[in-house]
Homo-oligomer: A and B are copies of this chain.
Amino acid sequence: MNAELQINRGRLLDRLDRLAEIGAIEDGGCCRLALSDEDRAGRDLLVSWMRELGMVVRIDAIGNVVGIRAGLENVMPVMTGSHIDTVRTGGRYDGNLGVLAGLEIVAVLNEAGLVTRRPLAVAFFSNEEGARFAPDMMGSLVYAGGLALEDALATVGIDGSSVGDNLQRIGYAGDAPCGWLRPHAFLELHVEQGPVLEREGFDIGAVEGVQGISWSEFTITGMSNHAGTTPMSMRHDAGYVAAATGTFLRELVKETGPSQLATLGHLQLAPNLVNVIPNRALFTVDLRNIDEAALQQAEQRLFAFVETLAAVEGVTVNHRLLARFEPVAFDRELVGRVEAAARAQGYRVRRLPSGAGHDAQMMARLAPTAMIFVPSVGGISHNVREYTAPEHLEAGANLLLNLLLELAA
């Protein structure tokens, strides 16, 4: 432990501000969609900062950028990092904090003239948000070997252009093989993006893992007919099945238990007219649970509900799984270290799962991994109103500093 070493809050905030100027939108928000011109400008700024800090910068074939600060020994490095791409109406902390805290820590060590035994690596991964190209967490997924490079490069985004072409265009199709640097441990600092820490008065979250995710798309096909002339008993109302499913989700959550989340976020009716019984309803259900068995139970209950209701209503169901990730459990020992170090530094800390996906869950395939969360005011995320108080940004970065020193010793 190096209790005397502290990050420089002002410098960290300044870097957050300067990065947020790139792709700035209203109310302090950011729009730096992955592999856009704004993303390139953000990348260029970060690479210049890495070089100013004396780091060796390598870029891999999917555009992940890793800056390395040499250690005393040529062994596997301790790695930290996150992402700097944003959603269309993003804030300035999501992702950026984890990367810039890494650079701040390197700056502190440089000033202190302290060289760790293991090298330190600070990474930012391509297209974590998935707002332009699906899937999200693409760069870390390819890094961890979970998605073939050629498939990732061929991915076509919402504007019709491919990942590969955009990487070439912005000059970030690097020459390093993906996954070239296997870390000794990976630790990611991130804003919570949820309300739990703030609501319960904690400074730090020791993230135990990432919830499993199940995304379903249901297409219900019934029969369109006149709302004024069709008796209720003769209807085959696709919209009713969608509505009843949305209502059922609250019941499902009660049945499955308190760790279950369920959301109907997307719904489209056709013909979508006030006086026509819908013949088609397309809707999605997002189910999340930290427990895989419970998540499977929720899925089965949901599918059975929709099928049964559709049979009664006389409509057909087409079901498609849009995404399915099992829960990821972070390294038990490392999570314990995060919790213990936070407590030792005097922070109010609690363990919690992450509801959102993170690059760390991909890196967990390669190395012992954990995450540090700091509070998000109001739990507001993917929104220009995203906010984390400076003292919490500082707390998270100081905790990361101490843990990296511990792990690199």
Chain A residues near B (Cβ < 8 Å): 192-196, 199, 211, 213, 215, 217, 224-232, 234, 237, 239-240, 242-247, 249-250, 253, 260-269, 272-278, 284, 286, 288, 322, 354-357, 379-383
Contacts and interface: CB of A to CB of B under 8 A. Distances in A.
Interface centre among A229, A231, A262 (most CB of B within 10 A): A229
Given A240-B246, A264-B243, A232 B211 contact: no
Contacts of A380: 225
A225 B195 CA distance: 10
Contacts of A356: 226, 228-229
Contacts of A239: 246, 264-265, 267
Given A229-B381, A232-B253, A243-B243, A266 B269 contact: yes
A246 B266 CA distance: 16
A274 B286 contact: yes
Contacts of A237: 263
Contacts of A195: 229-231, 234
A265 to B, nearest CB: 5
A262 B243 CA distance: 14
Contacts of A269: 265-267
A231 B229 CA distance: 42
A191 to B, nearest CB: 10
Contact of A192 (B211, B227, B229): B229
* The 10 nearest A-B residue pairs measured at CB: A243-B246, A194-B229, A228-B355, A229-B355, A227-B263, A274-B284, A247-B247, A243-B243, A227-B286, A226-B381
